[in-house]
Amino acid sequence: MSTSLMNQQFRLAARPVGMPKPGDWSCTTTPVRELADGEVLIKVLYLSLDPAMRGWMNDGKSYIRPVAIDEVMRAGGAGVVVESKSSKFAAGDMVCGGTGVQQYWQGAADDKTAGFYKVDTSRAPLPKYLNALGMPGMTAYFGLLEVGMPKAGETVVVSGAAGAVGQTVGQVAKHKGCRVVGIAGGKDKCDFVVNELGFDACIDYKGGSVKDGLKEHCPKGVDIYFDNVGGEILDAVLTRINLKARIIICGAISQYNNTTPVKGPANYLSLLVNRARMEGIVVFDYADRYSVGVAEMAKWMQAGTFKTREDIVQGLENFPETLLMLFEGKNFGKLILQVAEV
Ligand X SMILES: NC(=O)c1ccc[n+]([C@@H]2O[C@H](COP(=O)([O-])OP(=O)(O)OC[C@H]3O[C@@H](n4cnc5c(N)ncnc54)[C@H](OP(=O)(O)O)[C@@H]3O)[C@@H](O)[C@H]2O)c1
Binding site for ligand X (CB under 6 A): 50-52, 136, 139, 160, 162-166, 184-186, 189, 228-229, 250-254, 281-283, 326-327, 329, 331, 334-335
Contacts of 161 (CB under 8 A, 6+ apart): 167, 169, 170, 182, 183, 184, 189, 190, 193, 199, 202
Given a contact cutoff of 8 angstroms between Cβ atoms, the answer to whether 206 and 185 are in contact is yes
| Choice between 50 and 223, CB closer to ligand X | 50
* Helix (H) or strand (E) run with residue 156 in it: strand 155-159
| Choice between 222 and 250, CB closer to ligand X | 250
Q: Indicate the length of the chain as a whole number.
A: 342
Given a contact cutoff of 8 angstroms between Cβ atoms, the answer to whether 105 and 57 are in contact is no
| Choice between 21 and 206, CB closer to ligand X | 206
Chain centroid offset of residue 274 CA: 30
- Distance separating alpha carbons of residues 139 and 243, to the nearest angstrom: 25
* Distance in Å, CB of 242 to ligand X, minimum: 23
| Choice between 95 and 184, CB closer to ligand X | 184
* Distance in Å, CB of 274 to ligand X, minimum: 23
| Choice between 119 and 250, CB closer to ligand X | 250
Residue type, 54: R
Write the DSSP symbol of residue 280: E
Name the pairing type of β-strands 39-48 and 104-108.
antiparallel
* Distance in Å, CB of 167 to ligand X, minimum: 8
* Distance in Å, CB of 75 to ligand X, minimum: 12
* Distance in Å, CB of 252 to ligand X, minimum: 6
| Choice between 184 and 201, CB closer to ligand X | 184
* Distance in Å, CB of 166 to ligand X, minimum: 5
* Distance in Å, CB of 35 to ligand X, minimum: 32
| Choice between 106 and 228, CB closer to ligand X | 228
- Distance separating alpha carbons of residues 282 and 200, to the nearest angstrom: 27
DSSP 221-277: -EEEEEESS-HHHHHHHHTTEEEEEEEEE---GGGTT-SS-----TTTHHHHHTT-E
Contacts of 246 (CB under 8 A, 6+ apart): 147, 148, 149, 223, 224, 225, 276, 277, 279
Write the DSSP symbol of residue 81: E
Q: Which residue's CB atom is positioned nearest to ligand X? A: 163
| Choice between 97 and 160, CB closer to ligand X | 160
Half-sphere exposure of 102 (CA within 13 A, CB side): 26
CA angle, 336 as apex, 334 and 342 as ends, to 5°? 130
| Choice between 143 and 150, CB closer to ligand X | 143
* Distance in Å, CB of 331 to ligand X, minimum: 5
* Distance in Å, CB of 150 to ligand X, minimum: 18
Write the DSSP symbol of residue 66: P
